[in-house]
């Protein structure tokens, strides 16, 4: 069972958004056509490292990383990577890796059973959801039991928000519906389950103002800065990160599609204040993940 062994004094950052896209047997988290389309969209055909290589990559950079896959078995008709195997592999690298689980909400009771197993038996520290790729509206009442389960367990839920490169440029966008990742669909969850910590991943373009509205109104919501080079961050996001949201904004890359090196290089071109960066890079995540007790969230 995973137990974190991260020395916060020894790491410079916690990357809240790292994808594991292939397992040790070469099975990919997405069907081949989507992998090719994503590579074209992000203009990268770089390697998709398995979890052991990811651990070594972050260890060499003196960083910790939250790792996960996305279980979209219903929408994709494609078997997901195993979150059980991911959690067990992360336990072998507990000095740098923090496993999040993933379940397909559309599987109903099976999703609740798997989530319970991942929490109680495997020790995952949170869950990742991608409403567009998984094909579900998170605000619908039928998914409330899942949010209640995560709230009761005290583990955060990380949701993709905004535009996605998955399916981009394909006929019909591979059938994916962007509107399912509007951050406003997370507002009723945050309202109904105030103990559930909700992370809105990425600059939520074209709904950045909606994400900022939710985050400023609901103290149990956070924003991770993954998926975009910092030089493209919307100005409103930077203003909020510098001020009223500075304790609830999180460093994230979207590795392997965006590297920590590029993120850290490009952030120097932004107006993010040097005094807020330590919180964004490490302290906020440490507090959220229960790795450190540094006071209230805001």
Q: What are the mean pLDDT values of the chain's consecutive 10-residue runs (298 residues total)?
A: 96 98 85 78 70 97 98 96 97 98 98 98 98 98 98 98 93 96 98 98 97 98 97 97 98 95 97 98 98 60
pLDDT of residue 293: 63
Residue in the block written with tokens 């949201």: 245
SS3 14: strand
pTM given for the model: 0.95
DSSP codes, 157-204: EEEE-S--STTTTSGGGGG--GGGG-GGGGHHHHHH-TTS-EEEES--
What dihedral do alpha carbons 104, 195, 84, 167 form, nearest 10°? 40
The structure tokens listed for 85 are: 């195997």
Taking the C-alpha atoms of residue 7 and residue 118, their distance in angstroms, rounded to an integer, is 24
Residue in the block written with tokens 């594991």: 20
Taking the C-alpha atoms of residue 48 and residue 217, their distance in angstroms, rounded to an integer, is 38
Instruction: With beta carbons less than 8 A apart as the criterion, state whether 102 and 128 touch.
Output: yes
Quick one: which of 246, 125, 276 has its CA closest to 197? 125
> So what CATH class is 13-288?
alpha beta
pLDDT tens digits, 26-79: 888 888 888 777 777 766 665 578 999 999 999 999 999 999 999 999 999 999
Taking the C-alpha atoms of residue 80 and residue 48, their distance in angstroms, rounded to an integer, is 15
pLDDT tens digits, 3-22: 999 999 999 999 999 999 88
pLDDT of residue 24: 82
What dihedral do alpha carbons 28, 33, 34, 39 form, nearest 10°? 90
List helix spans (H) across the chain: 32-41, 51-60, 73-76, 83-91, 109-120, 131-134, 144-153, 187-192, 208-217, 235-242, 260-267, 277-278, 284-288
DSSP codes, 104-125: -GGGTHHHHHHHHHHHHTT---
Domain boundaries, the chain: 13-288
């Amino acid at each position: 069972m995973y137990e974190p062994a991260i020395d916060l004094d020894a790491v410079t950052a916690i990357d809240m958004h790292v994808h594991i896209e292939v397992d040790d047997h070469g099975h990919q988290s997405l069907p081949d056509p989507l992998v090719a389309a994503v590579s074209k969209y992000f203009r990268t055909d770089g390697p998709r490292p398995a979890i052991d290589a990811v651990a070594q990559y972050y260890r060499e950079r003196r960083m910790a990383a939250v790792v996960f896959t996305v279980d979209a078995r219903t929408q994709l008709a494609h078997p997901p990577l195993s979150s059980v195997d991911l959690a067990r592999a992360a336990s072998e690298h507990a000095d740098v890796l923090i496993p999040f689980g993933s379940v397909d909400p559309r599987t109903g009771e099976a999703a609740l059973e798997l989530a319970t197993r991942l929490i109680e038996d495997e020790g995952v520290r949170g869950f990742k959801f991608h409403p567009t790729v998984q094909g579900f509206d998170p605000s619908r009442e039928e998914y409330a039991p899942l949010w209640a389960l995560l709230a009761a367990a005290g583990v955060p839920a990380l949701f993709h928000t905004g535009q996605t490169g998955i399916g981009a440029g394909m006929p019909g966008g591979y059938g994916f519906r962007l509107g399912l990742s509007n951050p406003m669909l997370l507002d009723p969850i945050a309202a109904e389950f105030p103990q559930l910590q909700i992370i809105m991943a990425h600059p939520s373009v074209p709904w950045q103002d909606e994400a900022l509205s939710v985050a400023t109104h609901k103290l149990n919501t956070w924003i991770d800065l993954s998926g975009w080079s910092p030089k493209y961050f919307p100005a409103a996001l930077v203003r909020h990160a510098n001020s009223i949201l500075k304790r609830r904004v999180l460093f994230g890359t979207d590795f392997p599609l965006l590297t920590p090196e590029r993120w850290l290089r490009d952030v120097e071109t932004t107006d993010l204040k040097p005094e807020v960066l330590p919180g964004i890079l490490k302290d906020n995540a440490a507090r959220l993940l229960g790795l450190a007790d540094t006071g209230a969230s805001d």
